[in-house]
Structure 1
């Protein structure tokens, strides 16, 4: 059976909002590349939303009537970014102590 640490959290949710995982050691496989592209798109979207939010907060071009929509979009983007960070963090090598044991 595959260990949970060997699974990749995918950048989308499954049915009922449950997390989706990929069990594959092939970083160049179709699903891995698709997940990489979607993660990159999600991070780009979050970056653009942040720029726009800062403009709105500075009362530059941006309509305060759009604030509820902007907040909803920022919340969605933050959720995506956190999923990307969790996925990438879980794939990092676990640090080892000088005796070769995993550090906690």
Structure 2
């Protein structure tokens, strides 16, 4: 993963499929936060819908295939949001011998 200081990747791409980046503060970052939140809510709804079909013993094969599509899309969206948020986490400092000693003493 390439680290870009002061920028965050947006949850959408350009028209030609390239990743888009913006400053971490500002209007577009707020829009990106809202988009990620919306994606998570859609994931929850897709999972509820798929589980409803799976629990319904009268569901036909077509409905179960649709449930699999819901779960596939939900998984893709959840992975994207996790990756985006992971990219914004601060980099971990490498553990040194003194850090390991401090952990053992605790």
- Scaled by the length of structure 1, the TM-score of the pair is 0.71
How far apart, in 1, do the equivalents of 2:78 and 2:17 lie? 16
**In structure 2, do the counterparts of structure 1 residues 95 and 61 end up closer, same or farther at CA, with 3 Å as the change threshold?**
farther
Secondary structure of 1:54's match?
A: helix
| Structure with bigger RCO (C-alpha 8 Å, 6+ apart) | 1
Residues 53 and 63, structure 2, Cα contact 8 Å, conserved in 1: no
The CA deviation string for residues 60-104 of structure 1, in whole angstroms up to 9 with x for no partner, is 6866533333333333332222221111101101121455xxxxx
SS at match of 1:48: helix
Mean alpha-carbon deviation: is it higher for 80-89 or for 9-18? Answer: 9-18
- 5+ residue gaps, structure 1: 100-104
Count of aligned pairs: 94
Structure 1 residues 77, 13: CA separation in 2 closer, same or farther (over 3 Å shift)? Answer: farther
**Which ranges in structure 2 are unaligned for 5 or more consecutive residues?**
97-106
Q: Report the structure number with the largest CA radius of gyration.
A: 2
Question: C-alpha distance in 2, partners of 1:79/1:60?
Answer: 27
What is the Cα-based RMSD across aligned positions, in Å?
A: 2.5
Is 2:64 aligned against 1:67? yes
Give matches, 1:3-82, under 5 Å: 4-6=3-5, 7-22=7-22, 24-26=23-25, 29-59=26-56, 64-82=61-79
TM-score normalized by structure 2? 0.70
